Structure 1
Amino acid sequence: MTSLLSLDKRTYLVTGVLNNESIAWHVAAALQRENCEVVLTSYGRVARITRRVAELLPSRTEVLELDVMSDQSVDALAATVERRWGHLDGVVHSIAAAPPEALGPGFGSTPAGEVLDGFRASSYSFQQLSTALAPLLARAPGGGAVVGLTVDSARALPGYGWMGVYKSALEAIARYLAMHLGPSGIRVNLVAAGPIETVSARGVGTFAALAEQYERWAPLGWDRADPARVVGAVLFLLSDLSRHTTGQVVHADGGMHAVFGGVDPAAGSTASRPDATAG
């Protein structure tokens, strides 16, 4: 029986795989289970780690060099993909970086150079990578897809500092990319994930407190140790099911973005609240 996702035998580029806890790793694994060819990216010394965790995926995959702080590296990646595969069906952008002092209380004192470096890595790279790969995505049968990972940027999140700003910028960039790339048949969307325990998340001092809020109050419950809760939304946006969806932010957070934390959603109702590990 053909999968409704219609991902069979397609080729996807997935960035940001640091270990097998990362959302990007779980997306890559899910794509391979749908019989897709997956290509990963990494850079410098980190590439050795990416290659090791790539061996834990269901199928073998290649790891290409990509340093989003280098225009030449982005162009070289596009040229390599053009030469080897000729087209791409989709790209997953899971890249974000900021110096520790740019998070939390350092918001008001982070030097401009470090702020701008974080913006380039976390926000501008989404535009740069999407634009560089657009000619390859435009050749995808049925249209190419770009999916980025973000957080709930509609609110200021304690502890996120400049990273929260970068995610807000990412959302605006996604809207403009959707407008500019739509005529080429390329759709651009974001998934706003609830708090998932990853290496990056551990760099946010308030992560545990935020995760507790989600696990306590999200209408569908939440589990910070379950990346699969985010993967489904990414696969949907990469698939033909989202062929007419672009410029959107899909929240995969148990519904937390829609409610006010601190009030029992079952209060005043005879309905019971789902268990925190349900969903």
Structure 2
Amino acid sequence: MAGILEGKRILVAGVTMDSSIGFAAAKVAQEQGATVLISNFGRALGITRRIAKRLPVEPPVLELDVTDPDHLAGLEAQVREHVDGLDGVVHSIAYGNPETLLGGNFLTGPWEDVAQAMHVSAYSLKSLTMACRPLLSHGGSVVGLTFDATVAWPAYDWMGVAKAGLESCSRYLARDLGPEGIRVNLVSAGPLKTLAAKAIPGFEDLESMWGSRSPLGWDNTDHAPTAKAICALLSDFFPATTGEIVHVDGGFHAMGA
């Protein structure tokens, strides 16, 4: 039986460790029949190349810094070395300096670091999507990752503001690219044990809430539900859905207490 991504060409941008959501998404996408490319940059690129060997099929690893205009300009040519276009893009990219922007530093976070967080975590969704636009010539799906930005969380501080920017950015992209058949959606996952989460001082306080308040329960070590939601949005099973945020959090977001 063919998978829901059979024949699809998918770029997963921002895969570092095999504990990342991006890695899990790449794995499920391959299992569902997709041809997958992954990306990273700088010192992490070597780690990504080693981690790539742990996927069911070792994918091409592209060098891509989404804040570098030259990298973005060269992305189409890099992708075309391996496939003749794309059907989907996963934006699994975020960064905020944990020493200055997180863990109770909201009131003191300096603009330079806030600007970097906004650039990497929010504006880059637009940058990456536009760099991939020529490759999505027959339409397609862009999926990003958020952490519910409708409320203020303990410890999350300026990353919460950056995620709010990401969520708004996705809606405007959905508006402007819908006529081209390009869908833009986000998945809002509950707290998962990832490299990014480990960098957030006090993140355990968030994790502790989920077990008691999620009607379906929550396993913060299981990336599969989030990866499956990403792949569902990449597939043809959501042809009329765009500008949406799909919660994969055990139902936590819908509970008052």
| Residue 157 of structure 1: aligned partner | 153
Unaligned 5+ segments in structure 1 are 262-279
| Residue 193 of structure 1: aligned partner | 189
Matched residue of 2:58: which SS?
coil
Contact 2:154 2:205 in 1 (8 A): no
Contact 1:107 1:161 in 2 (8 A): yes
Matched residue of 1:216: which SS?
helix
Alignment TM-score, normalising by the size of structure 2: 0.96
Unaligned 5+ segments in structure 2 are none
Matched residue of 1:188: which SS?
strand
Deviations 1:169-227 (A, max 9, x none): 10000000000000111000000000000010011122212111111110111011111
Of 29, 32, 36, the residue aligned with 2:30 is 32
Matched residue of 2:188: which SS?
strand
| Residue 135 of structure 1: aligned partner | 134
| Residue 119 of structure 1: aligned partner | 118
Give, in whole Å, the separation in 2 of the partners of 1:83 and 1:252: 34
Per-residue deviation, 1:10: 1.3
Deviates more, 1:126-135 or 1:183-192: 126-135
Identity of aligned residues (%): 44
Contact 1:54 1:61 in 2 (8 A): yes
Give, in whole Å, the separation in 1 of the partners of 2:8 and 2:36: 8
Matches within 5 A, 1:90-109: 90-100=88-98, 101-109=100-108
Matched residue of 1:102: which SS?
coil
Give, in whole Å, the separation in 2 of the partners of 1:194 and 1:59: 28
Give, in whole Å, the separation in 1 of the partners of 2:102 and 2:42: 24
Of 171, 178, 198, the residue aligned with 1:202 is 198
Deviates more, 1:232-241 or 1:129-138: 129-138
2:227 is the alignment partner of 1:227: no
Residue type matched to 1:224 in 2? N
Give, in whole Å, the separation in 1 of the partners of 2:197 and 2:116: 19
Alignment TM-score, normalising by the size of structure 1: 0.89
Matches within 5 A, 1:61-80: 61-80=59-78
Residue type matched to 1:89 in 2? D
- Large movers: runs of 4+ above 3 Å: none
Matched residue of 1:21: which SS?
coil
Residue type matched to 2:152 in 1? A
If you compute each CA radius of gyration, which structure gives the higher value, 1 or 2?
A: 1
Tell me the matched-pair count.
256
Contact 1:211 1:224 in 2 (8 A): yes
Matched residue of 1:241: which SS?
coil
Per-residue deviation, 1:229: 2.0
Contact 1:134 1:181 in 2 (8 A): no
